[in-house]
Amino acid sequence: MLFTGCTADPRVRESEPSDAAPPVVATGNIDAWVVVIFDDRAEKFDANLMDALLDTEMKADEALADANAGMIDGNDVGAYGYELYFVGDDAESMWDVLEPIFSDAPVAWTRVELRSGLEDPAPTLITAE
């Protein structure tokens, strides 16, 4: 199963009555990224690990939406690792929301990159203790 992270943008809130004001979209740097990485495994990455992380990914996306902090953008699967991408206004704020969720994940993350822009040449690195 490949989880692509196709969800509604949590920054857009539609009002219920049809005569209400148009949806409000958060402003700011919508190019802040948190990349949660599960890598450096001795054996090739087992697709069952992706399945094990699916509930955690959904909880993370819901928590970011509830905090109006961001959303899941997708994932990347390699031979020896797995990466989850989250996008929003502020990478540090997103990680504050995500960290407790991933600390309880069934698969331990190895590092996190807080990026300003997807291609940030010098992201803030957080390593698992």
pTM here is 0.74
The CATH number that applies at residue 34 is 3.30.70.980
**pLDDT at residue 16 in the model:** 40
Q: Give the chain's domain count.
A: 1
Cβ of 52: how many Cβ atoms within 10 Å?
13
More confident residue, 7 or 45: 45
- pLDDT band at residue 19 under the 50/70/90 scheme: very low
| Residue 114 within any structural domain of the chain | yes
Sheet holding 111-116, edge to edge: 70-78, 81-88, 32-38, 111-116, 124-127
Segment 102-126 shows an average pLDDT of 94
Q: Which domain holds residue 69?
A: 22-127
Query: Per residue in 76-89, pLDDT tens?
Result: 887 778 899 999 99
